[in-house]
Chains A and B, each alone.
Chain A
Amino acid sequence: MNQQISGGFSDAPRQSATAFRAILEAMSRPGQWQEVQGAMPPAPLSPAAGAAILTLADHNTPLHLAGALDCPEVRYWITFHTAAPITSATEASFAIGTWQDLQPLDQFAIGTPEYPDRSATLIVTLDEVPAPNATLSGPGINGSVEAFCPGARPTAFPLGLDLILATQSRIMGLPRSTKVEFL
Protein backbone atom coordinates (compact mmCIF):
# COMPACT_ATOMS: atom_id res chain seq x y z
CA MET A 1 0.00 0.00 0.00
CA ASN A 2 2.81 2.40 0.91
CA GLN A 3 4.36 1.92 -2.48
CA GLN A 4 1.20 3.16 -4.13
CA ILE A 5 1.16 6.35 -2.09
CA SER A 6 4.87 7.14 -1.99
CA GLY A 7 7.07 7.93 -4.98
CA GLY A 8 5.29 11.05 -6.19
CA PHE A 9 6.84 14.51 -6.44
CA SER A 10 7.77 15.86 -3.01
CA ASP A 11 7.60 19.46 -4.28
CA ALA A 12 5.16 19.19 -7.19
CA PRO A 13 5.24 22.79 -8.52
CA ARG A 14 9.04 22.93 -8.85
CA GLN A 15 9.72 19.29 -9.73
CA SER A 16 7.00 19.19 -12.36
CA ALA A 17 8.31 22.48 -13.79
CA THR A 18 11.80 21.01 -14.12
CA ALA A 19 10.45 17.74 -15.54
CA PHE A 20 8.27 19.61 -18.02
CA ARG A 21 11.23 21.62 -19.28
CA ALA A 22 13.05 18.35 -19.94
CA ILE A 23 10.00 17.01 -21.82
CA LEU A 24 9.58 20.28 -23.75
CA GLU A 25 13.27 20.24 -24.62
CA ALA A 26 12.98 16.59 -25.71
CA MET A 27 9.98 17.31 -27.94
CA SER A 28 11.68 20.42 -29.38
CA ARG A 29 14.96 18.66 -30.15
CA PRO A 30 14.22 15.14 -31.42
CA GLY A 31 17.20 12.83 -31.16
CA GLN A 32 18.58 14.35 -27.95
CA TRP A 33 18.08 12.50 -24.66
CA GLN A 34 17.10 14.51 -21.57
CA GLU A 35 17.36 13.58 -17.88
CA VAL A 36 14.13 13.57 -15.86
CA GLN A 37 13.96 12.94 -12.15
CA GLY A 38 11.74 13.15 -9.13
CA ALA A 39 9.38 10.16 -9.44
CA MET A 40 9.78 6.71 -7.87
CA PRO A 41 6.89 4.68 -9.29
CA PRO A 42 6.40 0.95 -8.63
CA ALA A 43 8.00 -1.45 -11.14
CA PRO A 44 7.69 -2.03 -14.02
CA LEU A 45 7.01 1.70 -14.57
CA SER A 46 10.34 3.52 -14.91
CA PRO A 47 11.15 6.71 -12.96
CA ALA A 48 11.43 8.69 -16.22
CA ALA A 49 8.05 7.50 -17.55
CA GLY A 50 6.59 8.05 -14.08
CA ALA A 51 7.83 11.64 -13.99
CA ALA A 52 6.32 12.31 -17.43
CA ILE A 53 2.97 10.96 -16.23
CA LEU A 54 3.04 13.01 -13.02
CA THR A 55 3.86 16.12 -15.07
CA LEU A 56 1.29 15.74 -17.84
CA ALA A 57 -1.56 13.45 -16.78
CA ASP A 58 -4.60 14.31 -14.67
CA HIS A 59 -8.33 13.67 -14.54
CA ASN A 60 -8.72 15.28 -17.98
CA THR A 61 -6.40 12.82 -19.74
CA PRO A 62 -7.60 9.25 -20.33
CA LEU A 63 -4.55 7.03 -20.02
CA HIS A 64 -3.94 3.57 -21.48
CA LEU A 65 -1.60 1.03 -19.92
CA ALA A 66 -0.32 -1.53 -22.41
CA GLY A 67 1.05 -5.01 -21.70
CA ALA A 68 2.87 -5.71 -18.44
CA LEU A 69 2.39 -2.11 -17.25
CA ASP A 70 -1.31 -2.80 -16.82
CA CYS A 71 -0.90 -4.23 -13.33
CA PRO A 72 -2.59 -3.24 -10.04
CA GLU A 73 0.51 -1.54 -8.59
CA VAL A 74 0.93 0.82 -11.55
CA ARG A 75 -2.81 1.42 -11.86
CA TYR A 76 -3.10 2.37 -8.19
CA TRP A 77 -0.03 4.59 -8.30
CA ILE A 78 -1.21 6.53 -11.35
CA THR A 79 -4.76 6.80 -10.03
CA PHE A 80 -3.59 8.01 -6.61
CA HIS A 81 -1.15 10.60 -7.92
CA THR A 82 -2.87 11.90 -11.05
CA ALA A 83 -6.53 10.73 -10.98
CA ALA A 84 -6.17 9.94 -14.68
CA PRO A 85 -8.88 7.52 -15.82
CA ILE A 86 -7.36 4.26 -17.09
CA THR A 87 -9.00 3.54 -20.44
CA SER A 88 -8.80 1.59 -23.68
CA ALA A 89 -6.31 2.50 -26.39
CA THR A 90 -8.90 4.14 -28.65
CA GLU A 91 -9.93 6.72 -26.02
CA ALA A 92 -6.48 7.45 -24.63
CA SER A 93 -4.73 10.83 -24.59
CA PHE A 94 -1.63 9.08 -23.25
CA ALA A 95 -0.58 5.47 -23.68
CA ILE A 96 2.36 3.81 -21.98
CA GLY A 97 4.04 0.54 -22.86
CA THR A 98 6.77 -1.14 -24.83
CA TRP A 99 6.70 -0.61 -28.60
CA GLN A 100 5.46 -4.20 -29.06
CA ASP A 101 2.70 -3.83 -26.48
CA LEU A 102 1.45 -0.58 -28.05
CA GLN A 103 0.82 -2.27 -31.41
CA PRO A 104 -1.26 -1.92 -33.51
CA LEU A 105 -0.73 1.83 -33.66
CA ASP A 106 -3.87 2.49 -35.69
CA GLN A 107 -5.95 1.98 -32.54
CA PHE A 108 -4.78 5.38 -31.22
CA ALA A 109 -6.28 8.76 -32.08
CA ILE A 110 -4.19 10.70 -34.63
CA GLY A 111 -6.35 13.84 -34.57
CA THR A 112 -8.66 15.25 -37.22
CA PRO A 113 -7.81 17.62 -40.08
CA GLU A 114 -9.53 20.46 -38.16
CA TYR A 115 -8.00 19.48 -34.79
CA PRO A 116 -4.74 17.59 -35.37
CA ASP A 117 -3.86 18.20 -31.70
CA ARG A 118 -6.57 15.76 -30.58
CA SER A 119 -4.15 12.90 -30.92
CA ALA A 120 -2.56 10.45 -28.50
CA THR A 121 0.92 10.80 -27.07
CA LEU A 122 2.65 7.45 -26.69
CA ILE A 123 5.19 6.98 -23.90
CA VAL A 124 7.37 4.15 -25.20
CA THR A 125 9.30 2.38 -22.46
CA LEU A 126 12.83 1.10 -23.10
CA ASP A 127 15.32 -0.66 -20.84
CA GLU A 128 18.24 1.51 -21.87
CA VAL A 129 19.20 4.01 -24.58
CA PRO A 130 19.43 1.91 -27.76
CA ALA A 131 22.01 2.42 -30.50
CA PRO A 132 20.99 4.78 -33.30
CA ASN A 133 19.11 3.01 -36.08
CA ALA A 134 17.75 5.96 -38.07
CA THR A 135 18.54 9.38 -39.48
CA LEU A 136 16.16 12.03 -38.20
CA SER A 137 15.46 15.40 -39.80
CA GLY A 138 12.78 18.08 -39.62
CA PRO A 139 11.75 20.77 -37.11
CA GLY A 140 13.95 20.89 -34.02
CA ILE A 141 16.91 19.27 -35.78
CA ASN A 142 19.83 21.25 -37.15
CA GLY A 143 20.30 19.41 -40.44
CA SER A 144 20.03 15.76 -39.46
CA VAL A 145 20.90 13.54 -36.51
CA GLU A 146 21.38 9.80 -36.04
CA ALA A 147 19.18 8.47 -33.26
CA PHE A 148 16.95 5.61 -32.23
CA CYS A 149 13.41 5.26 -33.56
CA PRO A 150 11.37 2.25 -32.38
CA GLY A 151 9.56 1.81 -35.70
CA ALA A 152 7.35 3.33 -38.37
CA ARG A 153 4.30 5.39 -37.46
CA PRO A 154 1.24 6.16 -39.54
CA THR A 155 2.29 9.30 -41.42
CA ALA A 156 -0.34 11.79 -42.49
CA PHE A 157 1.09 15.10 -41.30
CA PRO A 158 -0.37 17.21 -39.70
CA LEU A 159 -2.15 14.16 -38.24
CA GLY A 160 -0.10 11.62 -36.34
CA LEU A 161 1.20 10.20 -33.09
CA ASP A 162 3.81 11.89 -30.92
CA LEU A 163 6.24 9.64 -29.06
CA ILE A 164 8.12 10.12 -25.82
CA LEU A 165 10.75 7.39 -25.48
CA ALA A 166 11.56 6.72 -21.82
CA THR A 167 14.37 4.69 -20.28
CA GLN A 168 14.93 4.48 -16.52
CA SER A 169 16.13 8.07 -16.19
CA ARG A 170 16.06 9.67 -19.64
CA ILE A 171 13.54 10.64 -22.28
CA MET A 172 13.63 11.54 -25.96
CA GLY A 173 10.88 13.07 -28.06
CA LEU A 174 9.79 11.97 -31.50
CA PRO A 175 7.05 14.38 -32.59
CA ARG A 176 5.03 13.55 -35.68
CA SER A 177 6.89 16.26 -37.61
CA THR A 178 10.18 14.30 -37.48
CA LYS A 179 11.17 12.62 -40.74
CA VAL A 180 12.68 9.20 -40.10
CA GLU A 181 14.94 7.26 -42.46
CA PHE A 182 15.97 3.90 -41.10
CA LEU A 183 19.65 3.05 -41.59
Chain B
Amino acid sequence: MTALDAYNFAYLDEETKRMIRRALLKAVAIPGYQVPFASREMPMPYGWGTGGVQVTAACLTPDDTLKVIDQGADDTTNAVSIRRFFQRTADVAVTEETEAATIIQTRHRIPETPLQEGQIMVFQVPIPEPLRFLEPRETETRRMHALADYGLMQVKLYEDIARHGEIATAYAYPVKVEGRYVMDPSPIPKFDNPKLNDSPALMLFGAGREQRIYALPPYTKVESLDFDDHPFVASKADHACDICGATESYLDEVITDDQGGRIFVCSDTAFCRSRQEDAA
Protein backbone atom coordinates (compact mmCIF):
# COMPACT_ATOMS: atom_id res chain seq x y z
CA MET B 1 0.00 0.00 0.00
CA THR B 2 1.44 3.36 -1.00
CA ALA B 3 1.22 6.46 1.17
CA LEU B 4 -1.37 7.80 -1.23
CA ASP B 5 -3.71 4.89 -0.45
CA ALA B 6 -3.02 4.97 3.25
CA TYR B 7 -4.04 8.61 3.69
CA ASN B 8 -6.85 10.80 2.40
CA PHE B 9 -5.81 13.13 -0.45
CA ALA B 10 -3.57 15.84 1.05
CA TYR B 11 -3.55 14.07 4.43
CA LEU B 12 -6.38 15.93 6.22
CA ASP B 13 -9.86 14.43 6.49
CA GLU B 14 -12.63 16.11 4.49
CA GLU B 15 -14.44 17.62 7.48
CA THR B 16 -11.23 19.35 8.58
CA LYS B 17 -10.62 20.65 5.07
CA ARG B 18 -14.17 22.04 4.86
CA MET B 19 -13.66 23.86 8.17
CA ILE B 20 -10.34 25.34 6.97
CA ARG B 21 -11.85 26.23 3.59
CA ARG B 22 -14.72 28.13 5.21
CA ALA B 23 -12.20 30.03 7.35
CA LEU B 24 -10.13 30.82 4.25
CA LEU B 25 -13.13 32.28 2.41
CA LYS B 26 -13.99 34.54 5.37
CA ALA B 27 -10.32 35.54 5.63
CA VAL B 28 -10.32 36.56 1.96
CA ALA B 29 -13.58 38.48 2.43
CA ILE B 30 -12.17 40.43 5.41
CA PRO B 31 -8.55 41.17 4.40
CA GLY B 32 -6.19 41.30 7.38
CA TYR B 33 -8.69 39.97 9.94
CA GLN B 34 -7.58 36.83 11.81
CA VAL B 35 -10.22 34.13 11.49
CA PRO B 36 -10.16 31.55 14.31
CA PHE B 37 -10.01 27.94 13.13
CA ALA B 38 -9.82 24.54 14.81
CA SER B 39 -6.18 23.78 14.06
CA ARG B 40 -5.38 20.08 14.00
CA GLU B 41 -2.42 18.22 15.35
CA MET B 42 -0.13 17.54 12.40
CA PRO B 43 2.65 14.97 12.06
CA MET B 44 5.24 17.65 12.81
CA PRO B 45 5.81 19.88 15.84
CA TYR B 46 4.27 23.31 16.30
CA GLY B 47 6.72 25.87 14.99
CA TRP B 48 7.50 23.78 11.92
CA GLY B 49 4.72 25.22 9.85
CA THR B 50 1.63 23.31 10.98
CA GLY B 51 -0.57 26.31 10.11
CA GLY B 52 0.89 26.68 6.65
CA VAL B 53 0.69 22.93 6.03
CA GLN B 54 -3.02 22.88 6.93
CA VAL B 55 -3.75 25.84 4.62
CA THR B 56 -1.78 24.21 1.80
CA ALA B 57 -3.57 20.88 2.36
CA ALA B 58 -6.95 22.61 2.14
CA CYS B 59 -5.99 24.42 -1.11
CA LEU B 60 -4.07 21.72 -3.00
CA THR B 61 -5.59 20.11 -6.08
CA PRO B 62 -4.05 17.19 -8.00
CA ASP B 63 -3.07 19.65 -10.78
CA ASP B 64 -0.97 21.94 -8.58
CA THR B 65 2.78 22.44 -8.66
CA LEU B 66 4.13 23.07 -5.18
CA LYS B 67 7.21 25.00 -4.09
CA VAL B 68 8.26 25.13 -0.43
CA ILE B 69 10.86 27.52 0.92
CA ASP B 70 12.34 28.10 4.35
CA GLN B 71 13.92 31.56 4.70
CA GLY B 72 14.24 31.62 0.93
CA ALA B 73 15.89 28.22 0.59
CA ASP B 74 14.35 25.19 -1.12
CA ASP B 75 16.85 22.75 0.36
CA THR B 76 16.61 23.17 4.15
CA THR B 77 15.15 20.48 6.40
CA ASN B 78 11.80 22.21 6.93
CA ALA B 79 11.25 22.90 3.22
CA VAL B 80 12.36 19.44 2.12
CA SER B 81 10.18 17.61 4.64
CA ILE B 82 7.03 19.64 3.88
CA ARG B 83 7.56 19.23 0.14
CA ARG B 84 8.05 15.47 0.55
CA PHE B 85 4.99 15.31 2.83
CA PHE B 86 2.74 16.62 0.04
CA GLN B 87 4.45 14.52 -2.61
CA ARG B 88 3.60 11.45 -0.54
CA THR B 89 0.09 12.39 0.59
CA ALA B 90 -1.18 14.33 -2.45
CA ASP B 91 1.09 13.13 -5.26
CA VAL B 92 1.49 16.73 -6.48
CA ALA B 93 4.22 17.97 -8.78
CA VAL B 94 6.94 19.98 -7.04
CA THR B 95 9.37 22.58 -8.27
CA GLU B 96 12.06 24.94 -7.04
CA GLU B 97 11.32 27.54 -9.72
CA THR B 98 9.12 30.37 -8.52
CA GLU B 99 7.60 30.92 -11.98
CA ALA B 100 6.58 27.25 -12.32
CA ALA B 101 4.79 27.00 -8.95
CA THR B 102 1.04 27.42 -8.47
CA ILE B 103 1.25 27.23 -4.66
CA ILE B 104 4.31 28.41 -2.73
CA GLN B 105 4.45 27.60 0.97
CA THR B 106 6.96 29.80 2.71
CA ARG B 107 8.61 30.29 6.03
CA HIS B 108 9.72 33.91 6.45
CA ARG B 109 10.44 35.05 2.87
CA ILE B 110 8.72 36.15 -0.33
CA PRO B 111 10.62 35.05 -3.46
CA GLU B 112 12.63 37.67 -5.37
CA THR B 113 11.04 36.70 -8.69
CA PRO B 114 7.81 38.72 -9.03
CA LEU B 115 4.67 36.67 -8.34
CA GLN B 116 1.99 36.22 -10.99
CA GLU B 117 -1.78 36.05 -11.20
CA GLY B 118 -3.06 32.62 -10.27
CA GLN B 119 -0.29 31.90 -7.78
CA ILE B 120 -1.01 31.36 -4.09
CA MET B 121 1.51 32.18 -1.36
CA VAL B 122 1.00 30.29 1.92
CA PHE B 123 2.85 31.83 4.88
CA GLN B 124 3.75 29.93 8.05
CA VAL B 125 2.95 32.20 10.98
CA PRO B 126 4.22 31.76 14.55
CA ILE B 127 2.43 34.68 16.30
CA PRO B 128 -0.41 36.06 14.16
CA GLU B 129 -1.42 38.85 16.56
CA PRO B 130 0.65 41.99 15.86
CA LEU B 131 -0.44 43.51 19.17
CA ARG B 132 0.38 40.45 21.30
CA PHE B 133 3.72 41.67 22.68
CA LEU B 134 2.10 45.00 23.54
CA GLU B 135 -1.09 43.56 25.06
CA PRO B 136 -1.08 39.91 26.18
CA ARG B 137 -4.86 39.58 26.69
CA GLU B 138 -6.74 38.16 23.70
CA THR B 139 -9.97 39.83 24.88
CA GLU B 140 -8.22 43.21 24.74
CA THR B 141 -6.46 42.77 21.41
CA ARG B 142 -9.74 41.55 19.89
CA ARG B 143 -11.48 44.70 21.11
CA MET B 144 -8.62 46.84 19.80
CA HIS B 145 -9.07 45.30 16.33
CA ALA B 146 -12.85 45.77 16.57
CA LEU B 147 -12.38 49.47 17.33
CA ALA B 148 -9.39 49.86 14.96
CA ASP B 149 -7.58 51.17 18.05
CA TYR B 150 -3.96 50.91 16.91
CA GLY B 151 -2.42 53.80 18.85
CA LEU B 152 -0.40 51.38 20.96
CA MET B 153 1.43 50.11 17.87
CA GLN B 154 2.33 53.66 16.81
CA VAL B 155 3.64 54.29 20.34
CA LYS B 156 5.81 51.19 20.08
CA LEU B 157 7.28 52.37 16.77
CA TYR B 158 7.79 55.85 18.27
CA GLU B 159 9.64 54.35 21.24
CA ASP B 160 11.90 52.56 18.77
CA ILE B 161 12.78 55.93 17.24
CA ALA B 162 13.28 57.56 20.65
CA ARG B 163 15.62 54.75 21.75
CA HIS B 164 17.47 53.86 18.54
CA GLY B 165 16.99 56.88 16.31
CA GLU B 166 15.05 54.76 13.82
CA ILE B 167 12.33 52.09 13.75
CA ALA B 168 14.38 49.08 14.87
CA THR B 169 11.82 46.44 13.85
CA ALA B 170 13.56 44.49 11.07
CA TYR B 171 11.14 41.58 10.53
CA ALA B 172 7.44 40.90 11.20
CA TYR B 173 7.06 44.62 10.51
CA PRO B 174 3.38 45.54 11.05
CA VAL B 175 1.24 46.55 8.08
CA LYS B 176 -2.19 48.11 7.67
CA VAL B 177 -4.51 46.39 5.20
CA GLU B 178 -6.88 48.50 3.09
CA GLY B 179 -6.76 51.18 5.77
CA ARG B 180 -8.52 48.93 8.31
CA TYR B 181 -6.79 45.99 10.03
CA VAL B 182 -3.24 46.05 11.34
CA MET B 183 -1.69 42.72 10.45
CA ASP B 184 1.48 40.77 11.19
CA PRO B 185 2.97 39.80 7.82
CA SER B 186 4.70 36.82 9.54
CA PRO B 187 8.43 37.10 10.27
CA ILE B 188 9.42 38.12 6.74
CA PRO B 189 12.21 40.74 6.63
CA LYS B 190 10.79 44.22 6.21
CA PHE B 191 12.64 44.18 2.86
CA ASP B 192 9.76 41.97 1.65
CA ASN B 193 6.92 44.19 2.94
CA PRO B 194 6.51 46.18 -0.31
CA LYS B 195 5.89 42.88 -2.16
CA LEU B 196 2.69 42.45 -0.13
CA ASN B 197 1.14 45.59 -1.59
CA ASP B 198 -0.93 45.28 -4.76
CA SER B 199 0.44 41.78 -5.45
CA PRO B 200 -1.14 39.84 -8.33
CA ALA B 201 -0.95 36.68 -6.17
CA LEU B 202 -3.31 35.58 -3.40
CA MET B 203 -1.59 35.47 0.00
CA LEU B 204 -2.82 33.15 2.76
CA PHE B 205 -1.45 33.04 6.31
CA GLY B 206 -1.78 30.05 8.65
CA ALA B 207 -0.88 29.96 12.34
CA GLY B 208 -1.30 26.40 13.63
CA ARG B 209 -0.50 26.73 17.33
CA GLU B 210 -2.40 30.03 17.62
CA GLN B 211 -5.29 28.71 15.47
CA ARG B 212 -5.69 31.68 13.15
CA ILE B 213 -6.00 32.08 9.39
CA TYR B 214 -5.83 35.41 7.56
CA ALA B 215 -5.42 36.54 3.99
CA LEU B 216 -4.54 39.23 1.51
CA PRO B 217 -6.51 38.97 -1.74
CA PRO B 218 -4.66 39.99 -4.92
CA TYR B 219 -4.37 43.73 -5.54
CA THR B 220 -4.91 44.65 -1.90
CA LYS B 221 -3.52 47.88 -0.48
CA VAL B 222 -0.94 47.02 2.19
CA GLU B 223 0.97 49.85 3.91
CA SER B 224 3.85 49.42 6.35
CA LEU B 225 3.21 51.55 9.42
CA ASP B 226 5.51 54.57 9.74
CA PHE B 227 5.66 58.31 10.46
CA ASP B 228 5.76 61.24 8.03
CA ASP B 229 9.23 62.23 9.30
CA HIS B 230 10.43 58.61 9.69
CA PRO B 231 9.15 56.89 6.54
CA PHE B 232 9.30 53.13 6.14
CA VAL B 233 12.54 51.87 4.54
CA ALA B 234 12.80 48.34 3.10
CA SER B 235 16.36 47.70 4.23
CA LYS B 236 18.85 44.95 3.39
CA ALA B 237 22.56 44.30 3.96
CA ASP B 238 24.56 46.86 1.99
CA HIS B 239 26.43 44.32 -0.14
CA ALA B 240 26.14 42.37 -3.38
CA CYS B 241 25.65 38.60 -3.31
CA ASP B 242 29.12 36.97 -3.12
CA ILE B 243 27.95 34.10 -5.34
CA CYS B 244 25.81 35.64 -8.09
CA GLY B 245 26.58 39.32 -7.65
CA ALA B 246 22.95 40.42 -7.29
CA THR B 247 22.59 43.83 -5.67
CA GLU B 248 18.80 43.96 -5.41
CA SER B 249 18.10 40.68 -3.53
CA TYR B 250 17.80 40.07 0.20
CA LEU B 251 21.06 38.69 1.64
CA ASP B 252 22.00 36.24 4.37
CA GLU B 253 25.24 36.79 6.23
CA VAL B 254 27.22 33.54 6.41
CA ILE B 255 30.16 33.06 8.80
CA THR B 256 32.86 31.11 6.93
CA ASP B 257 35.59 30.56 9.55
CA ASP B 258 36.60 31.51 13.09
CA GLN B 259 38.88 34.35 11.87
CA GLY B 260 36.02 36.77 11.31
CA GLY B 261 35.53 35.72 7.70
CA ARG B 262 32.01 36.21 6.33
CA ILE B 263 30.21 36.35 3.04
CA PHE B 264 26.81 37.63 1.97
CA VAL B 265 24.67 35.40 -0.23
CA CYS B 266 21.15 35.57 -1.64
CA SER B 267 18.60 34.17 0.81
CA ASP B 268 16.46 33.09 -2.19
CA THR B 269 18.41 30.03 -3.40
CA ALA B 270 16.33 29.49 -6.55
CA PHE B 271 16.85 33.13 -7.59
CA CYS B 272 20.61 32.90 -6.95
CA ARG B 273 20.94 29.63 -8.86
CA SER B 274 19.05 30.92 -11.91
CA ARG B 275 21.35 33.96 -11.99
CA GLN B 276 24.42 31.70 -11.81
CA GLU B 277 23.04 29.57 -14.64
CA ASP B 278 22.30 32.65 -16.74
CA ALA B 279 25.85 33.90 -16.18
CA ALA B 280 27.45 30.53 -17.02
Residues of A with Cβ closer than 8 Å to B? 12-14, 16-18, 20-21, 23-24, 27-29, 55-58, 60-61, 93, 112-117, 119, 121, 138-143, 157-158, 160, 162, 175-177
Contacts and interface: CB of A to CB of B under 8 A. Distances in A.
A12 B218 CA distance: 28
Interface of B is mostly: mixed
B61 A14 contact: yes
A176 B29 contact: yes
Top 9 A-B residue pairs of the complex, sorted by shortest distance between their CB atoms: A13-B9, A175-B29, A113-B146, A140-B217, A117-B26, A139-B217, A139-B220, A162-B29, A17-B61
Interface of A is mostly: loop
B147 interface: yes
Contacts of B195: none
Interface of B: 8-10, 14-15, 17-19, 21-31, 33, 35-36, 58-63, 142-143, 145-147, 178, 180-181, 200, 202, 216-221
Contact of A61 (B22, B58, B217): B22
Contacts of A20: 17, 21, 58-59
Given A16-B17, A24-B59, A158-B180, A177 B9 contact: no
Given A20-B59, A158-B33, A28 B218 contact: yes
Nearest to B37: A117
Contacts of A57: 18
A56 B27 CA distance: 15
A113 B30 CA distance: 12
B31 A139 contact: yes
A37 B68 CA distance: 29
Contacts of A112: 146
Given A27-B29, A162-B25, A60 B59 contact: no
B14 A12 contact: yes
Contacts of B31: 139, 177
